[in-house]
Structure 1
């Protein structure tokens, strides 16, 4: 389970955590960010690197110092015309 909250497995968490307690943990996580210690450390180092970069005249943003974790979630919707063009290119 997430950082041992409620137990070491989902079954233990279901047995040990009440609904009210689960809601409390969710509210805590929303207010304080991730409970993952590794990510908190990464964010701390990224903040430090951003401040050092800024002091030395750099233009880097906070996000520039965070590790990239997979593809962007931004999606682009295709129009009917785009799909038709794609099918035409495959036809050949």
Structure 2
């Protein structure tokens, strides 16, 4: 468990954590979105990157700097003409 809060194991936490404590933790998680330190760091860097981008004239949004997790990438099929244009654009 997080820093031994409620116990060292999930079973100990369930045995030792009162209903009011559980409600307090739920309120904390709802307010702060996550207890995962890695996700908080990612969000902090995304915020910093957004601010720097906007200061230097960029138009990026906060979501542009967050990793895309679980989103299905849109697949676009290329035609033979598209491939031919790509090959023609390459200079020797």
TM-score (norm 1): 0.67
1:47 alignment counterpart? 47
Inter-partner Cα distance in structure 1 for 2:3 and 2:52 = 31
1:83 alignment counterpart? none
| 2:23 counterpart of 1:6 | no
Inter-partner Cα distance in structure 1 for 2:67 and 2:6 = 29
Q: Give 1:9 deviation, angstroms.
A: 2.8
2:58 alignment counterpart? 58
Structure 1's unaligned 5+ residue stretches are 73-92
Q: Give 1:4 deviation, angstroms.
A: 4.9
Q: Give 1:23 deviation, angstroms.
A: 0.5
Question: Secondary structure of 1:49's partner?
Answer: helix
Aligned pair count?
72
Structure 2's unaligned 5+ residue stretches are 73-92
TM-score (norm 2): 0.67
Query: Could you list the per-position Cα deviations for residues 13-42 of structure 1 after superposition, in whole angstroms to 9, with x for gaps in the alignment?
Result: 111111110000000111122111111111
